[in-house]
Amino acid sequence: MSDRIMVEIGKNGEVLKGLFQESELRKEQKIEVLPPSNAIQAVRENGIPSPPGADNVEKAVISSIEIVYLPGKNYLYPMYLTKGVSYSSEKHCNFMKYSPAVRYSNQKLTT
């Protein structure tokens, strides 16, 4: 049996209800969501992947930024999932990067 997550988000970003491994989630605390510009900055700081066989990236285009929830030991962690395309002179490749959507104390959560 695989883990299953379902989260329903309200208009103001609050978690209305959710399920994780067939057990009800409970609201633990209210936290402020960082602006999406932080996700763009995280991509800049952590590097944009080069297309296979290319030496460098000439430009990158971000096509979407969305909030996803990654399961942790006791919590669901809100993260930005940034998707885009990086380009070299003759090649391109799709990329995806995760970055925190909220402030976490002393944790590096970007990938």
Per-position pLDDT tens, the chain of length 111: 345 666 666 666 666 666 655 445 567 777 788 999 999 999 888 888 888 888 788 888 999 999 998 887 777 888 999 999 989 888 889 989 999 999 876 555 444
Q: What is the Cα–Cα distance from 111 to 46, expressed in whole angstroms?
A: 8
pTM: 0.67
